[in-house]
Amino acid sequence: METQENQQKPLAPLEGVRVISMAHLYPGPYCTMLLGDLGADIIVVEQTGSGDPARLIPGYLSIINRNKKSITLNLKSEKGKEICYKLASTSDIFIEGHRPGVVKRLGVDYDSIRKVNPEIIYCSISGYGQDGPYRDYPAHDITYQGVAGILTPTNSTIPIHNPWIALADLSSAMFATLGIFAALRVRERFGKGQFIDVSMLDSLISWMSVPLGIYFTLGYVHRTNWPAYGCYKTKDSKYITLSVTVEDHFWVNLCSAIGRDDLGKMSLHLRVEKAEELRNILQEAFMSRNREEWLEILKKADVPCGPVLTLSEALKIPQIVYRNMIVEVEDKQGNRIKQVAHPLKFSKTPARIWKLPPGIGEHTEEVLQDLGYETEQLEEFRKEGII
């Protein structure tokens, strides 16, 4: 996949929409990556000198900071604020990801920004939201998961292992993206901007709707003990997954595949009741063949199953390759840089990678000149530590 930065852009869903982002680390950058892939003009405002703290983590921003411009700005200075206001006056969306109260102290909160742009859509992403007794507590992803009840989902007193996917960060980023699209629609229809308050904890609670629905009904978290839903070890010490639940025909197919047609006659209620016994029978059967042999047998029998893969294995499977989810983009030096493609497949307005992630302040001069600042002013700003 060749770089498309210098090509003429085709029609994109967010073509002409300008986003200013002061949200760093994970939720803000992931949200703006999704928006940028869909054609929005993303300008990331980073602190002069240090930039986004995530730049210290190898590979972190290089995979979620594409399709963006980066400028550096000292918002603790009056001239820095003036530049930010001027930038906001030409923008559609303003995103920030600080702890509540920080942008107020900096003078770039919603009330300050809407004075220069009454139709601005202002999105704040924070851990616990902009109000409530927890709003000022510091935390990162696993803390929000713990508070949400995710780490002990079956009323156990022992928490599960540390998840390696940042569920709170990603869920809040996706809800922020959804909220921005909704707010753009409102502004298009009624000409009104608005403030969007996104909480990582709220986002996790929303994702837990089904478990909570069961909890509200039964008074406890209930996960049906399906005997053929989980991971099973095979003869070569690898693992497969089975995902057979309520469908009787899948259970019958599974039992036939392992040579136990007699078990296929069991009712759903009886399967759940004897789950542990059945699970032992299944595990014993799967130890008779290697993983790939079982996958071939089970797929031919139309049984929901799959391999448990490492990351390196997963990236090579035909489905991910066919769906073009890992692409290579050529940088200015001719190097091929891997990127994870946008997951949505549009028939008329495809998401695209136009720019590779920028360096700190790479576009400061370009963006400020577009705002009308002269070269002499930029040099003066640099001397004063404004940019």
Q: What is the pLDDT of residue 158?
A: 65
Q: What is the pLDDT of residue 331?
A: 85
Give the structural domain span for 270: 229-314
pLDDT band at 340 (very low <50, low <70, confident <90, very high): very high
Contact between residue 238 and residue 313 where contact means Cβ atoms under 8 Å apart:
no
Q: Note whether 310 and 348 are same-domain residues.
A: no
* CATH code of 268's domain: 3.30.1540.10
Beta bridge partners of 96: 22, 124
Give the DSSP letter string of 147-163. HHT-SSTTS-SSPPP--
pTM: 0.90
pLDDT band at 341 (very low <50, low <70, confident <90, very high): very high
Q: Give per-residue pLDDT as tens, 197-232.
A: 999 999 999 999 988 898 899 888 777 789 999 999
Q: Note whether 262 and 354 are same-domain residues.
A: no
Give burial (CB, 10 Å; 0-12/13-18/19+) of 340.
Answer: middle
Q: Note whether 195 and 245 are same-domain residues.
A: no
Q: 296, 314, 332: which is the final residue of a domain?
A: 314
Q: Note whether 184 and 270 are same-domain residues.
A: no
Tell whether 359 is covered by a domain: yes
Tell whether 144 is covered by a domain: yes
Tell whether 335 is covered by a domain: no
Q: What are phi and psi of 20, to 5 degrees?
A: -105, 125
Tell whether 37 is covered by a domain: yes
Q: How many domains does the chain have?
A: 2
Give the span between the Cα atoms of 122 and 145, in whole angstroms. 26
Read off the pLDDT of each residue in 265-294 and give the average, rounded to a whole number: 95
Q: What is the pLDDT of residue 2?
A: 40
Give the span between the Cα atoms of 111 and 116, in whole angstroms. 9
**In this predicted model, which residue has the larger pLDDT, 8 or 111?**
111
